[in-house]
Amino acid sequence: MKPELTDALASLEEGLPSVMEAFRGLQAAATSDGTLDAKTKKLMMVAVTAALRCEPCLREQVKGALQLGASREEILEAAGVAILIGGGPTAAYCALYLMDELNNANTGGQNGV
């Protein structure tokens, strides 16, 4: 995550501690293993963040999916679902940011986030 986003989230947490605490609880509940495993949920989050076009969110979800063992192909398939929902703007967004994050993971660098 970019340092400026980390700092901004910390400021938001200071201003809205109860909201952010509740959000973290929701995040933990929604992403824990259940009928769907964590990797499947992370791939869903890749698709949703791509469709919503949240760059830092998308980059973090791609990294998380890779850490959970998702393949490049699985991530690209999730992007395909996002493109179905979001159309051309989401396709352009995935071309720029999702592909950058995937290519960056292959080279061991740290672009974007």
pLDDT digits (tens, 9 = 90+) for 5-14: 889 999 999 9
Contact criterion met (CB below 8 Å) for 58 and 98: yes
Phi, psi of 34 (to 5 degrees): -150, -135
pLDDT digits (tens, 9 = 90+) for 37-94: 999 999 999 999 999 999 999 999 999 999 999 999 999 999 999 999 999 999 999 9
Q: Is 1.20.1290.10 the CATH classification of the domain at 34-113?
A: yes
Query: What is the pLDDT, as a whole number, of residue 88?
Result: 97
Query: What is the pLDDT, as a whole number, of residue 6?
Result: 87
Contact criterion met (CB below 8 Å) for 38 and 68: yes
44 contacts: CB under 8 Å, gap ≥ 6? 36, 78
pLDDT of residue 110 exceeding 60, the answer is: no
Query: Hey, where are the domains in the chain?
Result: 1-32, 34-113
pLDDT of residue 109 exceeding 70, the answer is: no
Residue type, 81: V
